[in-house]
Amino acid sequence: MNITNIINTAKKCLSALIILCSISQTMAAERVTDYTRNKLARELPVLGLTVGDPVFIRTFKKESRLELWMQRQGSPQYILFRTYPICYYSGTLGPKRKTGDKMTPEGFYAIQANALNPNSRFHLSMNVGYPNAYDRSHGYTGSLLMIHGECDAIGCFAMGNEQIEEIYYLIESALQNGQANVPVHAFPFHLNDANMNLYQNSPWRDFWQQLKAGYDKFNAEKIPPTIRVENGRYQVL
């Protein structure tokens, strides 16, 4: 085969690849339905919000709830857009520590743009970023911990498909609009004083006190706090 034939063959392969990628992107886009897009286009402006505004996520295991907060343009503070039921999560209260323990993570995480999967077998999915620096400092193992659809999970937060479409679309739009990452604060329950007293004998109380610092700071300021890990402990700034 001469060089001309090689080049022509390569061009044909590249064209076929571009077509396949285009088909895949089209199929992925269709998973967020027009119904979802139109619904959000109606509801967001009522609260002074728009698709593409920054997003912040909080999850609560015991209550089986996921909160989606958004930042209004021109304001540093976030407002609660919607609270979604978590269809299913596996494990009990407490952090995920090792591969195969079927636990859902607790801690401070972040969704990056490359963590979105529009072609997931769970309808749509996004990797929350476990293990983070805290988890690694404690030797915790595991990977591919998601928020996804299809209401079925092992170690993930499973949502209904209608719910995951809204969550995915708003997160994807925020990242495309310049948000560096979407913080995900995963809690065992609302870390108010009553609940902390209820679980005062838990072996995870000290860990939950670290999480409570972030929970309280956001509740007071409505701005996602800066989180660092120092000497194996969360530091809330």
| Tokens 């560096």, located at residue | 180
* DSSP code of residue 224: P
From 87, 123, 148, 185, active-site residue = 148
From 13, 21, 87, 156, active-site residue = 156
> Angle between the 161-176 and 34-43 helix axes, to the nearest 10 degrees?
70
Cβ-count burial of 107 within 10 angstroms (0-12 exposed, 13-18 middle, 19+ buried)?
Answer: buried
Q: Is 156 a catalytic residue?
A: yes
What order of strands is seen across the sheet that includes strand 116-117? 88-89, 157-158, 146-148, 125-127, 116-117
Cα–Cα dist 58/69, whole Å: 8
Cα–Cα dist 74/94, whole Å: 37
Q: Is 151 a catalytic residue?
A: no
Tally DSSP H helices, then E strands, for the chain.
Answer: 6, 12
How far lies 169's CA from each of 162, 227, 236, in Å? 11, 25, 29
CB–CB of 229/208 below 8 Å? no
Instruction: Give the list of residues 6+ apart from residue 160 with CB closer than 8 angstroms, or none.
Output: 85, 87, 149, 151
Return the active site residues.
148, 156
